[in-house]
Amino acid sequence: MRRVALIGALSLALLGVGLAEVVVPASATSDGGVRTADAAKYAERARQALAQQRWNRAVRDSEVAVADAPADGEHRRLLGVAYLRAGRFVSAARAFEDALTLRGDDHAAALDLALAQVALGRWDRARATLAAHAGGIAASDHGLALALAGDLPGALQVLMPAVRRAEADAKTRQNLALTLALAGQWPQARALAAYDLPADAVDRRLAAWAALAQPRAASDQVAALLGITPVSDPGLPLALALVAPVPAAAPVAVAAPPPPAFVSQIVPPTAPPLVSRPVPPAATAPTSRAPVASYQRPLRSGGYVIQLGAYENVAVARDGWRGALRRWPVLARLRPTGIPAGKGSTRYRLSVGGIARGDAIELCRGYRARGGRCFVRLAAGDRPAPWRRGVRLAAK
């Protein structure tokens, strides 16, 4: 316990941006304010659980927030922080990658992603992540993260100038001292550590750093700095996977017609002999959208569904289903299904599917291309919608 206490301050200094500044903004969703409010509520509960060090509770609540607002980068970053604190590095890395996909300038998520990559032994990727966001990460955090990623010379190049600045604080000095220790420069590390610590605490701090300098597994250093225990991690639940939007078709440049050629003498054309020939039908210009027929091939059955929204009740969900059909009639091939949002709740999560993952992703992308919102997840007890007899059902 004492070892964790000694280095716990450094873990908070390194990851403070990943915890204290997670603010979830209200964002538009496919079914309005109800879903947004639910996502914000669960995100707040997740932050409270993190503050109470209830990691598993934080994971559960942040997963609900992401499920309700899958396109919200802040919620995905919050989910990554919860996974990181729970020792689930594979899931954390994926959540932070998704957050950066949605918000490329989220430097705090980039720092946390680099730490998760270090814990997974992906040191090259961690260094690349830090290099891409170097301008947005504080020097004290950037330097120590570089040291953990194995770039000790680079870490010292960042931290040495930072510690000489007038605004340098204890966090910057201690991060440099730890980096010096990891580089084997123990006398310098001791002298710098003593600047902020009482004499009787310096030896204990250096003993903790000595253990940190000899990790047995890739995750040891990050786990020690965070004060957590790594666990077996199956990865991010497929239900929370971020489905990339369909890219817009690139404009095609049309060459201008060549200027008319000038001739010095007008030569009258020779009339060709008249021949009776059939006139071929005119070619139809291709449309910009993929034809509906391309989605009429047989769909493979499977355990995946496309969630179209979470609605206040079944009646509102039925209206949402009708709106989805108006937006893209191809969905009529599928049977509307859904599940209650929770025990005793009237909210209803509308889905379609029971198909293979690849087909579900393709259809979700097609729906998004027409302005809809959706994401792909594993079926979780989804049952046929109560109004299904009033809707044309797809052939299985």
Q: Using alpha carbons only, give the angle 190, 192, 194 rounded to the nearest 5 degrees.
A: 70
- The Cα 68–Cα 76 span in angstroms is 11
Give every CB contact of residue 80 below 8 A, 6+ residues apart in sequence: 18, 91, 92, 93, 95, 96, 99, 109, 112, 113, 116
Angle between helices 123-132 and 139-148 in degrees, nearest 10: 160
Least confident of 13-27, 181-195, 316-330, 333-347: 13-27
Give every CB contact of residue 153 below 8 A, 6+ residues apart in sequence: none
DSSP classification of residue 100: H
- % residues pLDDT > 70 (the chain): 74
Beta bridge partners of 375: 307
Q: Going from the N-terminus, what domains does the chain have, and what CATH number goes with each?
A: 2-236 (1.25.40.10), 297-390 (3.30.70.1070)
Cα first-last separation, the chain: 59
Contact predicate 179/155, CB 8 Å: yes
- The Cα 227–Cα 221 span in angstroms is 10
- Identify the pLDDT of residue 286: 43
- The residue whose two tokens read 């959540």 is 95
| Reported confidence tier of residue 208, pLDDT bands at 50, 70, 90 | very high
Residue with the bigger pLDDT between 84 and 363: it is 84
- % residues pLDDT > 90 (the chain): 45
What is the H or E stretch that residue 74 is in? helix 73-85
Mean pLDDT, to the nearest integer, of 3-14?
36
Residue with the bigger pLDDT between 298 and 50: it is 50
- Identify the pLDDT of residue 311: 83
What is the tens place of the pLDDT at every residue in 245-294?
544 445 545 455 455 443 334 344 444 444 445 544 444 444 444 444 45
Mean pLDDT, to the nearest integer, of 355-362?
85
What is the tens place of the pLDDT at every residue in 299-348?
888 888 888 988 878 888 898 899 999 988 888 888 899 888 666 677 88
- Identify the pLDDT of residue 373: 83
- Identify the pLDDT of residue 189: 94
- Identify the pLDDT of residue 248: 46
- The Cα 334–Cα 247 span in angstroms is 25
- The Cα 322–Cα 303 span in angstroms is 24
- Identify the pLDDT of residue 262: 39
DSSP symbols for 130-146: HHHTGGGS-HHHHHHHH
| Reported confidence tier of residue 179, pLDDT bands at 50, 70, 90 | very high
Angle between helices 2-19 and 107-119 in degrees, nearest 10: 140
59 has a pLDDT exceeding 90: yes
103 has a pLDDT exceeding 80: yes
- Identify the pLDDT of residue 38: 86
- The Cα 327–Cα 321 span in angstroms is 10
Least confident of 24-38, 176-190, 197-211: 24-38
- Identify the pLDDT of residue 173: 95
- Identify the pLDDT of residue 113: 96
| Reported confidence tier of residue 366, pLDDT bands at 50, 70, 90 | confident
